[in-house]
Amino acid sequence: MQISSRFTIATHILVVLALEGEQTKVTSDYLAGSVGVNPVIIRNVLSQLKAANLVSVARGTGGAKVIQDPSTITLYDIYEAVDSLGQSGQLFGFHENPNPNCNIGRNIHAVLDDRLEAAQRALEAELSQTSLADLVQDAQGKSPADS
C-alpha cells in the first residue's frame, strides 16, 4: 500500500508557493517544471488544495498563492486535502470478501482492524506535528549544493 503521490506533489507545490508566491507569479507550468510532472496533474492538485481553502488560484496565467498562514497548515491538512484516504476514510484498503469458511478469513478483521486503525492514527498524529512553515524553513536552509 502506498499513499498517492498527490500528497508529496501537493506538499511540493505548497512549499514553492510559500517561498516564491509573493515575489513571483507561480503558474501550473512553473510548478510542473519544479515538480517534474505534467501541468494537468498540477492543476488537478491545485484544484484540491483550493477546495480545501489552502490556496487561491487565478484563472488563466494568474498564478496561485497560499491563503493561510503556513504555520497553521500541517502535513495532515495537505494529506486530507488531496484525498489520500479516498472515500473510505481508511488508509489501509481491506480486501472485500475474506472467506467466511476459512478460520483465518473468518477472523482476519478481528486480527487486523484495530492494529491498522492504530497505525493510521499514529501516521496522522505524526503528520499533524509538521507545518508548512517548518518545511519552508528547512527548504530555505538548503544550499544549492545540497540539492
Would the pTM count as exceeding 0.95? no
Name the CATH topology of 6-146: Arc Repressor Mutant, subunit A (1.10.10)
Position 49 scores a pLDDT of 98
Q: So what's the pLDDT on residue 86?
A: 66
Give me the phi and psi of 27, to 5 degrees please.
-100, 170
pLDDT tens, residue by residue, 87-143: 677 778 788 889 999 999 999 999 999 999 999 999 999 999 999 999 999 999 875
- Read off the C-alpha cell for 22: 509573493
The whole-angstrom separation of Cα 117 and Cα 121 is 6
How confident is the model at residue 147, as a pLDDT? 52
3-19: pLDDT as tens digits:
678 999 999 999 999 99
